[in-house]
Amino acid sequence: MGKYKKEAELLFAAVGASENIEALSHCVTRLRFELRDSSKVNQETIEAIDVVKGVVWQSGQFQIIIGNDVSLLYQDLMELYQPVTSPQLRSEEKVPPFKKMMANLGAIFSPIIPAIICGGLVIGLENIIDSIYFFDQGTHTLAQISPFFLSLAELLKMIGNAVFYFMPIAIVWSIMKKMKGSEILGIVLGITLVSPALLTSYQFGSMKGYPSEVIPAILAGFALVYLERLFRKLSPESISMLVVPFGSLIGAVVLSQFILAPLGSLIGGGLADLLYFLFTSPLSYLTAVLFGGGYMFLVMTGMHHITTLLDLQFISSFGGTMLWPLIALANVAQGSAVLGMIWLQRNEKKHQAVNVPACISCMLGVTEPALFGVNKKYGFPFICAVIGSSCAALFAVHRQIMAASIGVGGLPGIFSILPRFIPSYLIALFIAMGISFMLTLITGKVCLKSVASAFFVSPMEGKLIPLEKVEDQVFSQRLMGDGFAIELDGNAVYAPFDGEVVMTYPTGHAYGIKSQDGQEVLIHIGMDTVALQGKGFTPLVKAGDRIKQGDKLVEVDRAYILHQGKSLVSPIIFTNGQEIALKQSGKIKALQEAIIELKGEENEEL
């Protein structure tokens, strides 16, 4: 197995192993499980795995957000996965038709996203070379003054146009792959929809081509799927190799050319006209706010693939799309909010290990690591980014900014913008970045302080003691980490936060626990109490248990321990390097709030 062997094994067990997996696939950032019994999923265990940024139940699928390394984890999972096809194991869950359609749409577009990204990027580069007048006082393009760049522009244009012109071929192939049909028949059907040679030489009647059109290809693909299934069911086994491909392909071509493709083209054209009206009518500003601010909610639910269909149809009808600039700006807004978190948590190495890669990915158009790993977790950065993207969308729609292609998001999204709109798009970028970043800084100074103070409660009753006054130098010199101590007065120790028990000492005198946001704390009850060999302690939890703030971890026979001459000064150590500051002194009660602050969590004052 590869890089994520350990994580794959944990995740595989947590979803119920092969017996509970109906199908497993992945897109650019997510693992997509179709499960037989959703009740068998241990979601808490999955969310605790380091590489997991979040989980979503959507359209009958269990989706796990990983990020850029999703394909590597998928490969390790596939080494564990052994498909089980027993009919009695199939889930009886009913998925609503609309959710099922959204899931299928996502599955159709996921395999062709790399081609869309490549096509969008090369078209953007071709625009820069061939359409922007940089030279001779703004009168010539790079292609006009250089034969080399002219040839390069022609090559890039060929590649980019090939991706989008022949998109119906990719769509029909992807449908056949998803629906477990004959993929080669899907390719042939797609060619009949777009091939210039066929369209020129063999047109008859009302047959025509549908290059770049998405909905005709989708309808044609599903027609082929169900015709192939029908012929396979009706045909005797002895002649199925002849009857099934011949009957299903001929039937799909005729049905598509005379009914489905014209209908799909009509629907697609009407949809594009509706979108154009929404972006150019008096409703345009409402459209900008709803889509610019709401796009990330679609990403969170896994329904954002619908925008790919809308964008492609917009481009097919009008030679460009007004949707894609808003998507790219929404990416940048979320990334800028994470940039704000990087500044707020600049002294926290643990947080920076998550924030920095998430910000880079988001600025390059891959949003989920930032969205689920940072912004959604804290809440306020997500809202700040939504406000920033809404403001940028208002400006973009006001200036009617249009992209020539899709697929390139984040900061590189500028390559997809039609050259005449690039100056306006730069202003929109500045709006998205500036508002999202500044709002995150401003609100973070309040919100993070509140979080830092409230997440931790006292695990026991007693007298607070600064760590440097603890007699054991391992603790007083902070060799295990920063913290404080409490001289225990009560007879119980409680969980200071929600999380997981990651370690229990066999003698019951020490417990390692980890919070939901990654804080790791060691609670060591008394000094040299290990010598009691467990006497005086009644553990109530074990390693691997999930705990809630206030759950009792252990009962302590205080009188017995004192009778044995042992101190009950109990260090509480933050073992992951977090610095803390005591906010009070003297006696405290068990489960008392706001006794510490986490230094550097939101600003230098903490």
* Positions marked active-site: 27
Sheet containing 537-539: give its strands across. 492-494, 552-556, 537-539
Q: Three-state SS for 140?
A: strand
Q: Terminus-to-terminus CA distance in the chain, angstroms?
A: 44
Using only C-alpha atoms, the chain has a radius of gyration, in whole angstroms, of: 30
Reduce the DSSP state of residue 63 to 3 states and report it. Answer: strand
- Phi/psi at 249 (nearest 5 deg)? -70, -45
Encoding tokens for residue 65? 């957000």
Rounded CA separation 388/97 (Å): 34
Bridge partners, residue 533, by sequence: none
CA-based torsion, 500, 501, 503, 509: positive or negative: positive
Q: What are phi and psi of 201, to 5 degrees?
A: -95, -25
Distance (Å, whole) CA 505 – CA 512 = 9
Query: CA 442 from chain center: how many Å?
Result: 26
Q: Alpha-carbon torsion 486, 490, 494, 496, what sign?
A: negative
Phi, psi of 345 (to 5 degrees): -110, 30
In terms of Cα–Cα distance, which of 312, 268, 304 is closest to 106?
304
In 3D space, the residue among 180, 169, 183 whose CA is nearest the CA of residue 218 turns out to be 169
Nearest to residue 547, comparing CAs of 598, 510, 513?
513
Chain centroid offset of residue 387 CA: 20
Residue reference for tokens 């027609």: 223
CB 331 within 8 A of CB 365: yes
Q: Do residues 404 and 292 touch, judged by C-beta distance below 8 A?
A: no
Cα(387)–Cα(407) distance, integer angstroms: 23
H/E segment holding residue 569 = strand 569-574
Torsion angles phi and psi, residue 465, rounded to 5? -130, 125
Greatest Cα-to-Cα distance within the chain, rounded to the nearest angstrom: 102
Burial class (CB in 10 A: 0-12, 13-18, 19+), 392: buried
Tokens of 240: 């199925």
If we measure between CA atoms, which residue out of 523, 533, 591, 589 comes closest to residue 561?
533
How far apart are alpha carbons 216 and 270 in whole angstroms?
A: 13
Amino acid at 185: L
